[in-house]
Each structure stands twice: as structure tokens, then as C-alpha cells.
Amino acid sequence: MQIVILDTPEQVANYGADRFADQLKHKPDSVLGLATGSTPIALYNALIARVQRGELSFAKARTFNLDEYLGLAGTHLQSYRYFMNEHLFRHLDIDLANTAVPDGATEEPLAACDAYEAAIKAAGGIDLQLLGIGRNGHIGFNEPSSSLASRTRVKTLTPDTVKANQRFFEAGEFQPHLSITMGIGTIMEARQILLLATGEGKAAAVRATVEGPLAARCPASILQMHPKATLVLDRAAASQLEDVAFYQYIEQENQRLPGV
């Protein structure tokens, strides 16, 4: 794993935007894996600014999102489809037909999961997958105890995840406890993975991911097995890591040897 520790959340977002921009310049028809949550918003804003300045284009790109609430249609304000349209897609030059989010309104969730897997495969697989991380180490909605080999499927959210996301729902409003999520095995097939984490609240999960054992207890720890995974952290998210000096030394050396 490449561990990049930066001073501020803004720097984390800009680093992420640089990686996406490099990917699209190198391969304009890239297949991008995208995420929701509060962490990616600054990265998305940075990408939107670049597109609007004419520096970057998503015209040929395809995207697949990690997950969606089961039971919410894409028109629902809390659905992840709605989030993506509002926070990213409608500001880009991307064709909405080339953006995929699991269908939360499906009557046949199991078939929808299989179809999502097939669509990723038909697109040639994901070139660059963006991830956030839950305080419990989840990636997508793969909660602790998820099979590390899992595929796209229906998952039950932990009470903690439901609580963490409660802030987005009105009091008394239906809040789903089920989701459709790419599996951990699905995520691991992406050619490159970029996980962003900011803030003290993520520090324990980041430590378990980087320095803990590989364990279903912390789903993100599977990234130890990925040949091209980068974790981009601000100081607060990195604050419980033991070997910070070593990670920073490696990064300094990487910068002296461009292309490594």
C-alpha cells in the first residue's frame, strides 16, 4: 500500500483530483469507480472546477458507483443516485447513460446484483476505484464480517452505519437498513484503488487498515493484498498510525524517483 499523509483535507481532495485527472488524460475512456459520503465531495468539487475550466473531460468516461440504499428510488433525496447527480454528474460533460449506480428501487435485488457485476465486466473492469472508509472499517457497504471475496449483493447495514447516516434523513422518514453494494472481491478487481480518509473519527479504522491484521473485522484491511492501492490521509486520520515517519520517508523517496 502507498500511504500518503497530507496536512489538510483540501490537500487530500486535490491529490485525489490529480489522480483522477491523470487517469483520464492517460485513458479518456476510463472506467471509474465512484463513492458517496462526505469525504469525496471536495474531490468532486475539484474535478468539476477542472472540467469547467476546460482542463479535463469526462465525455468518454464510464462510471460505476459502489453502493445504493435498497428501497430508495434514484429520485429520493437521500439516494446515492441523487447524490451523484447533484454533487458530480450534472456538473460534468459526462453522458448520464454512462453512469451506473445500483438500482435501489429494483423489485429483483438479486438479479440486479448479478446484472451490476456483468455490466462492470462488460465495460472491461474498473480502472480506478475511489473509496471512503467507515469508522468501522467498511468499504462500500461491506460491513465488518463481510466475506473478503464477496461480490455485488444485498447487505444489512450495522446499527452504527445507520446512525452515522441518520443525519441525512428527516425525523420519522423511512431510512433503509439494507443496501446493494459492490462486494469486496469486486472492489479488489479494480486496477487501482484510491482510498481517502480525513478526520480523527477515521484514525482507528485507518490504523486497522494499514497496520492491523488482514481481517474481515476491518474490511478495508483487504487493501493490504492489492498491488496498487493508495491511501490518502490528512494528519488527523493518520494520527493513530505507528510508522508515520517511515511512510513519509517512502513518499519523499517516491518523489525523488518519479514513476515509481
Per the CB < 8 A criterion, the answer to whether 198 and 237 are in contact is: yes
Count of residues binding ligand PGA (CB under 6 A)? 6
Q: Considering only residues 186 through 215, tell me which ones interact with ligand PGA, judged by CB under 6 A.
A: none
Does 13 help bind ligand PGA (rule: CB under 6 A)? no
Query: In this complex, which beta carbon is closest to ligand PGA, that of residue 12 or of residue 94?
Result: 12
Q: Which of 9, 16, 104, 132 binds ligand PGA (CB under 6 A)?
A: 132
3-state secondary structure of 183: coil
Nearest residue (CB) to ligand PGA, 37 versus 71: 37
Q: For residue 21, what are the CA distances in angstroms to 15, 17, 60, 79? A: 10, 6, 13, 27
Examine residue 125 and tell whether it contacts ligand PGA (CB under 6 A). no
| CB crowding 177-188: b at 16 or more within 10 Å, else e | eebbbbbbbbbb
Q: Which is nearer to ligand PGA, 90 or 163 (CB)?
A: 163
Which residues fall within 8 angstroms of residue 49, CB to CB, at 6 or more apart?
A: none
Q: How far is CA 53 from the centre of its chain?
A: 25
Q: How far is the CB of 11 from ligand PGA (least distance, A)?
A: 16
> Which DSSP letter does residue 257 get?
S
Tell me if 134 contacts ligand PGA by CB under 6 A.
yes
State yes or no: is 143 an active-site residue.
yes
- Over the window 55 to 94, marking each residue x when it contacts ligand PGA by CB under 6 A and - when it does not, the resulting string is ----------------------------------------
Nearer CB in complex with ligand PGA: 102/134: 134
**Sheet of strand 99-100, all strands in order from the earlier edge strand to the far edge:** 2-6, 229-234, 192-197, 128-131, 31-34, 62-65, 99-100
Q: Which residue is nearest to ligand PGA (CB)?
A: 37
**Cβ proximity to ligand PGA, 24 vs 196, nearer residue:** 196
Place of cell 451506473: 100
Residue 189 C-alpha cell reads as 478487481
Q: Is 138 among the residues known to form the active site?
A: yes
Active-site residue, 87 included: no
Q: Which of 65, 103, 127, 136 is catalytic?
A: 136
CB-wise, 34 or 133, nearer to ligand PGA? 133
For residue 165, the Cα-to-chain-centroid distance in whole angstroms is 16
CB 218, min distance to ligand PGA, A? 13
For the bound state, the minimum distance from the C-beta of residue 8 to ligand PGA, rounded and expressed in Å, comes to 16
| Binding to ligand PGA in span 32-51, by CB under 6 A | 37-39
* 219 part of the interface to ligand PGA, by CB under 6 A: no
DSSP label at 8? Answer: S
Phi-psi region of 21 (alpha: psi -120 to 50; beta: other; left: phi over 0): alpha
Give the C-alpha separation, 184 to 20, whole Å: 21
Catalytic residues: 67, 136, 138, 143
Which parts of this chain interact with ligand PGA (CB under 6 A)? 37-39, 132-134
